[in-house]
Amino acid sequence: MATNVVKVDRAALKKAGGAFGIRALLVGLSVTSRHFFRNLFGWIIGKPQVFTVMFPEQDIAKPPSFRGMPVLVQMDNGKERCVACGLCEWACPVDCIHIVPGETEDAIERYPKIFDIDMGRCMYCGLCEEACPEEAIVMSSRIEISAFSRAGTIWHKSDLLVPVDELPRRLDYVRLGYQR
């Protein structure tokens, strides 16, 4: 395999930049300063030139392929779509999902009595969503999981439910996977 060897004349470089690299330092500082002043004036006149979002006041539209917190899809009747089949619990590589199944009198007889996700453990891999046969758990665009205690990072079923109307883009994206 041919390799491209670049010869660097270190002595010449040193001579051009001064003994302590002062020239390189000044070049770097000038780039930083240029951006600082441009942004400062841009911000003052209301036309910022760079991509900076004032989180959490501002947010960006994430693409449907974005994998944030996994959430449970809530049907129009207010109930979860999940039937506690346990496949996400099994697929989860970090064991952050805990489900206790229960029985209802509804036509769909099985539901999760308890559905907990330890967000502190979740690694947002999306395998739960991939394993789900009911399109009941999807990766949302939510990313705010901070809490004041370890117990606070465990999200319960009521926290996880998101109405199906808020998730159409992600559900469409999930369905793309069926054709693969």
* Residues of this chain that bind another protein (CB under 8 A): 83-87, 89-90, 101-103, 108-110, 133-134
Minimum separation from the CB atom of position 154 to another protein (A) = 16
Least Å distance, CB 79 to another protein, is 14
Q: Between residues 88 and 141, which has the closer beta carbon with respect to another protein?
A: 88
Q: What does the angle CA 162 – CA 144 – CA 81 come to, to the nearest 5 degrees?
A: 20
To another protein, the closest distance from the beta carbon of 103 in angstroms equals 5
- H or E element that contains 163: strand 161-163
28 vs 102, beta carbon nearer another protein:
102
170 vs 24, 49, 52, 159, 180, CA distance in Å?
A: 47, 31, 25, 19, 16
Residue 151 C-beta: closest distance to another protein, Å: 19
Q: What single string gives the DSSP state of each residue in 69-138? A: -EEEEEPTTSSBS-----HHHHH-TT--EEEEEEE-SSSS-EEEEEEEEETTT-----HHHHH-SSS-EE
Token pair recorded at residue 138: 């999807």
As measured in angstroms, the least distance from the Cβ of 111 to another protein is 9
**What residues contact 151, with CB distance under 8 A and at least 6 apart?**
none
Complex with another protein: residue 62 or 98, whichever CB lies closer: 98
Q: Is the Cβ of residue 23 or residue 113 nearer to another protein in the bound state?
A: 113
- Pick between residue 18 and residue 86 the one whose CB is nearest to another protein: 86
